[in-house]
Amino acid sequence: MSFQKKFFGKWVLAGEYSVLRKGFAIVYPLNSYSIGFKYSESKRNLVIQKSGSYQSDLDFSITPILYKALKFLNKKQESLKGVLEIKGDIPFGAGVGASASLCVGIAYLFLYKKWLKRNQVKSFASHLEDFFHGKSSGMDITSVIHKKPILYYKGTLKNLNSFKEKPLLFLSYSGGRSATSVGVSKVRKLFDRNWNLAESIDKQMCQSVNLCLKALKERHAKKSLSLLSQALDLGEDCFNKWGLISYELEQHIKELKKKGALSTKPTGSGLGGHVISLWTIPPPSSLKEKLIPLTL
CA pair distance 148, 142, nearest whole angstrom: 10
Quickly name the fold that domain 2-159 has.
Ribosomal Protein S5; domain 2 (3.30.230)
CA pair distance 75, 89, nearest whole angstrom: 29
8 has a pLDDT exceeding 90: yes
Give the model confidence (pLDDT) of 37-89 as tens digits: 999 998 899 999 999 999 988 888 898 899 899 999 999 888 999 999 999 99
pLDDT at residue number 1:
60
CA pair distance 11, 185, nearest whole angstrom: 21
| Residues 6 or more apart in contact with residue 176 via CB below 8 angstroms | 246, 247, 248, 249, 271, 272, 273
Quickly name the fold that domain 168-294 has.
Alpha-Beta Plaits (3.30.70)
| Residues 6 or more apart in contact with residue 239 via CB below 8 angstroms | 16, 245, 265, 266, 270
Average pLDDT over residues 191-208: 95
CA pair distance 294, 273, nearest whole angstrom: 16
203 has a pLDDT exceeding 90: yes
275 has a pLDDT exceeding 90: yes
pLDDT at residue number 176:
86
CA pair distance 190, 198, nearest whole angstrom: 6
CA pair distance 24, 109, nearest whole angstrom: 30
Percent of the chain with pLDDT over 70: 98
CA pair distance 275, 268, nearest whole angstrom: 9
Per the prediction, the chain carries an average pLDDT of 92
pLDDT at residue number 54:
92
pLDDT bracket for residue 133 (50, 70, 90): low
| Residue 236 · residue 266 · CB < 8 Å | yes
Strands 156-159 vs 150-153: parallel, antiparallel or unpaired:
antiparallel
pLDDT at residue number 161:
80
CA pair distance 37, 185, nearest whole angstrom: 31
What φ, ψ does residue 81 adopt, rounded to 5°?
-120, 155
- The helix (run of H) or strand (run of E) holding residue 257 is helix 247-258
165 has a pLDDT exceeding 80: no
Question: Domain limits of the chain?
Answer: 2-159, 168-294
